[in-house]
Amino acid sequence: MTDGQSGAPPTRPGLIGSLLDRFGHLVRELSKFATVGGIAFVVDFALFNYLTAAQGVEQVTAKTISTVIAATFAFLGNRFWTWRHRQRSNPAREYALFFLFNSVGLGIAVACLAISRYGLGSVWPGVFQTTLADNIASYVVGTGLGTLFRFWSYRRFVFVEAGNREATDAERDPASGA
C-alpha cells in the first residue's frame, strides 16, 4: 500500500499517526514479544506445578525442566512469529544466543532482588526485607528491566535484520493482521 507517488507508505495525520508511522513496527514487535513471553510464563508456571504436584518431581529438577521447555517455546514463538520477517541464520547460533541473553535477563532480576534485600535492606530492613519488597524488586523492577534487555538483545543480536530490507505490505499495514 503506497501513496501512488513516491512508493512510500501513506502517512497518517496528527501526532499519533506520525508516531505510528515511525514506530508502528516496533509497537507490533513489542506486542508480539509480550504475548509470547506471557504464554511462556504460563507454560513455565503450569508445567512446574504439574511436575511437582502431580508427578512428584523434585522442585529444582521440575523448575529446570519447565524453564527449558518454556524458553524453547519462547524461542520458537519469537523466531516464527515476533521476528518472522527477519533474516534466518544458523538455528543453533540463534538458540544459544537466545539462552545466553535469557540468562542475563534472569541475572538482572536476581540482581534487583539482591540490591533491594541486601543493599537497601541493610539500611531499612523493615521496608526492604519484606515479601512485598522482594516481589516488587524481583517481579516488577527486575522482570521489567530484564524484559527490556531481552527485547533489545534478541532484536539486535539473535533475530538480526537483513541489511536494508524493504518492509513487507503486511508490516506497513497493521490491519493486515501481521
How would you write the pLDDT of the chain (178 residues) with one tens digit per residue? Answer: 444 455 555 566 677 766 666 767 788 888 998 999 999 989 988 998 899 889 998 887 888 888 889 989 999 998 889 888 777 778 888 889 989 998 998 889 889 888 998 999 899 999 888 888 888 888 889 888 989 999 999 889 988 876 534 444 444 444 444 4
Domain stops at, among 21, 50, 85? 85
pTM reported for the whole predicted model: 0.65
Number of domains in the chain: 2
Q: Are residues 127 and 77 in the same domain?
A: no
Is 170 inside any structural domain?
no
> Which domain does 69 fall in, by range?
13-85
How far is it, in rounded angstroms, from Cα 61 to Cα 69?
12
Within 10 angstroms of residue 105's Cβ, the number of other Cβ atoms is 21
Q: Are residues 62 and 50 in the same domain?
A: yes
Q: Are residues 20 and 76 in the same domain?
A: yes
The sign of the torsion formed by the CA atoms of 78, 162, 107, 112 equals negative
Q: Are residues 126 and 155 in the same domain?
A: yes
